[in-house]
Amino acid sequence: MYYSIVLPTFGRPGDVDEFLESLVKQEYKDFEVVIVDATFKDTVQLVADKYREKLNLQFIYRKGLGISESRNLGVENSKGDYVVFIDSDCVVPPQYFLEIENFLKLDKVDAFGGPDAARNDFTLPQKAINYVMTSFLTTGGIRGKAKRVSKYELRGFNMGISRKVFDAVGGYSGLKVAEDIDLSMRVHKAGYRTALIPGAFVYHKRKTNLYKFYVQMFMYGKARIDLFLRHREALKVTYLVPLLFLIYLVAGILMVAVNKFLFLAFCCSIALYALAVFTDSSIKNKSVIVGAMSVFAAYEFLTGYGLGLIYNIFRRLIFGRKEIERAKILKE
């Protein structure tokens, strides 16, 4: 099988360098790399030029192009049977494509995805954020994890799709956030088969600090309402947990003026949740510092995502603002 890796990027030359270096070390070599760069300087191109002798690599420059449009442009210039999308802040283990090839020999699904993991040399905040995004205690371990064919929700940081299927569903639709989930839902609605390949994981660095993580979660919460307007099935109970948490948080704080016993019970419940996250993360990451950061990141995840939901529930559903945030498109 021949694969086309499509890498949209906006800056991050250091991340792109590490990403391409990991591709050089792949055990399975039958792939090409298509980089679509939207930065305003040539820093990424300078990095790409280092790998032209080591990889089958195309470099496309479109200043200011949006994420959906970058991915679509990359696919237009690709030649693979399957298009593989991996974010530029990921590092690909040597066995990645071998795992995919072995899986597709047994079950040639229309689209597939893989999980993400934290590497030992990641920073402490990155490990904490990875824990929050993959733990059942924050719903991160529940969403999009179904292994059953036709049920796996593809995620843009690590996903592959047949070129024919990508073209059939119309590619990315222009959303700025959650564009990968929108594509995944259209793939499912069209009746195509998807699967999770557990061994095809990537090391995902995600955000570098907790503030950026909070902003990202707020944007994800907003995007969930945009998805709901396109796909009614997008707003399951799992995605409402952050909103329910916010309601519980506000109600609990108000209890201080109503019922001291209920307020004490509320404080105990919040402390017990924090203790559960701290203990689980500390054990898994072998670090109490990461455990403490994970508590902070968990509350950021729940409050940020919940506030994003509330923002767009009022803005889009109640006040009827029709526009959906789209990636910026600049004329050539």
Domain definitions of the chain by residue range = 3-122+143-207, 212-318
**Torsion of Cα atoms, 261 then 265 then 271 then 274, to 10°:** -150
Burial annotation 83-121 (CB, 10 A radius, 16+ → b, else e): bbbbbbbbbbbebbbbbbbebbeeeebbbbbbbbebeee
Q: pLDDT tens for the chain, 332 residues: list them.
A: 799 999 998 878 899 999 999 999 999 999 999 999 988 777 888 999 999 999 999 999 988 888 899 999 999 999 999 999 999 889 999 999 999 999 999 999 999 999 888 888 889 999 999 999 888 898 765 444 444 444 678 888 899 999 999 999 999 988 888 899 999 999 999 999 999 999 999 999 877 788 889 999 999 999 999 989 888 888 888 888 999 999 999 999 998 888 889 999 999 999 999 999 999 999 999 999 999 999 999 999 999 999 999 999 999 888 877 655 444 433 33
pLDDT at position 141: 57
Give the C-alpha separation, 177 to 170, whole Å: 17
CA dihedral angle for residue 40, residue 46, residue 52, residue 54, rounded to 10 degrees = -120
Structure tokens at 190: 């069209």
The CATH architecture one would assign to domain 3-122+143-207 is Alpha-Beta Complex (3.90)
Supply the pTM of this predicted model.
0.84
- Show the beta-strand stretches assigned E in 199-274: 202-204
Q: What is the pLDDT of residue 326?
A: 46
Q: Are 3 and 160 in contact (CB under 8 A)?
A: yes
Dihedral in degrees, nearest 10, Cα atoms 36, 41, 42, 45: -20
pLDDT of amino acid 153: 83
